[in-house]
Amino acid sequence: MIDTLLSSPFLGLTLSAAAWCAGCQLQKKFRLLPPLLTAAALIIAVLAAFGIPYSAYAAGGDFIKLMLGPVTAVLALNIYNQRTVLKEHFLPVLAGCLAGSLTSMGSVLLLCRVFQVEQALAASLLPKSVTTAIAIGIAESRGGVGGIAAAAVMVAGLTGAALAPLFARLFRVTDPVAEGLAIGACSHALGTTRAMEIGHIQGAMSSIAICVCGIMTSVLALFL
């Protein structure tokens, strides 16, 4: 019975779904960390507590990974829904996203070179500021590790979501367009959820930045 359960893809699917639902409930009730981080911690805890090998979980968890491709394509719908805002601030959006993408990737390359990090790790960290679906594709195409890239994306997202309001006050960023672009460019979807709490314009601009920065980072990665 146990062997059948471990070999079934439903283990990974069920565990992932249950952990996500638990993370959402904990965030609503106790205002804890974002559901993504809580779910990851719960999955690791369950696997460690019951001695379940990662390969058994991945048999079902990889089905979720397959959805990253379609999810990436759906991001185009987000740009279409925000087309009015995009037209109004077209040049600032392009300039801000380009600056954000170059700064993010340039800082990673510089720090990796300073600390003499191996190429595989540098490739994994390079797309840390774009959404997971795009980041994994960029990392693996450059010889990086998808899991490390996903972890780096999560850290960048959590950091941006937590510190965005503080940095906005510190650097006296009062323009909602600039604030939203900055959050989306450096902390993707996790930051965007925080931007939506700050204001409607910030949320819209952060949402646009996710898509535009994802495209720019994919192109820039070809030349770095």
pLDDT tens digits, residue range 141-151? 989 998 899 88
pTM for the whole thing? Answer: 0.76
Greater confidence (189 vs 101) lies with 101
Statement to judge: residues 57 and 88 lie in one domain: no
In the chain, at which residue ranges do the beta strands (DSSP E only) sit? none
**What dihedral do alpha carbons 149, 154, 159, 160 form, nearest 10°?**
90
Statement to judge: residues 57 and 81 lie in one domain: no
Statement to judge: residues 57 and 150 lie in one domain: no
Statement to judge: residues 55 and 114 lie in one domain: no
CA angle 35, 59, 158 (to 5 degrees): 20
Boundary of a domain, candidates 32, 49, 66: 66
- The count of other CB atoms within 10 Å of the CB of residue 70 is 9
Statement to judge: residues 112 and 204 lie in one domain: yes
Please tell me the total count of domains within the chain: 2
Statement to judge: residues 21 and 78 lie in one domain: no
Boundary of a domain, candidates 51, 66, 81: 66
Statement to judge: residues 110 and 207 lie in one domain: yes
Q: What is the pLDDT of residues 11-44, one digit of tens each?
A: 888 888 899 899 888 878 776 677 777 888 898 8
pLDDT exceeds 80 at position 158: yes
Statement to judge: residues 78 and 61 lie in one domain: no
How many residues are given for the chain? Answer: 224
Q: What is the pLDDT of residues 162-216, one digit of tens each?
A: 788 888 889 888 888 889 888 988 888 788 878 887 888 888 888 888 888 988 9
Cα(first)–Cα(last) distance of the chain, in Å?
Answer: 50
pLDDT exceeds 60 at position 1: no
In a 13 Å sphere around the CA of 177, the CA atoms on its Cβ side amount to 14
For 115, list phi and psi in degrees, rounded to 5.
-95, 10
DSSP state of 126: T
| DSSP codes, 176-191 | HHHHHHHHHHHHHHHH
Statement to judge: residues 83 and 177 lie in one domain: yes
Statement to judge: residues 51 and 86 lie in one domain: no
**What dihedral do alpha carbons 75, 76, 82, 84 form, nearest 10°?**
170
Q: What is the pLDDT of residues 102-126, one digit of tens each?
A: 999 999 999 999 999 999 999 999 9
Over pLDDT 70: what percentage of the chain?
A: 90
- What pLDDT score was predicted for residue 32? 62
pLDDT exceeds 60 at position 2: no
Domain range spanning residue 92?
A: 71-220
Statement to judge: residues 111 and 152 lie in one domain: yes
User: Tokens 């450059």, residue?
Assistant: 142
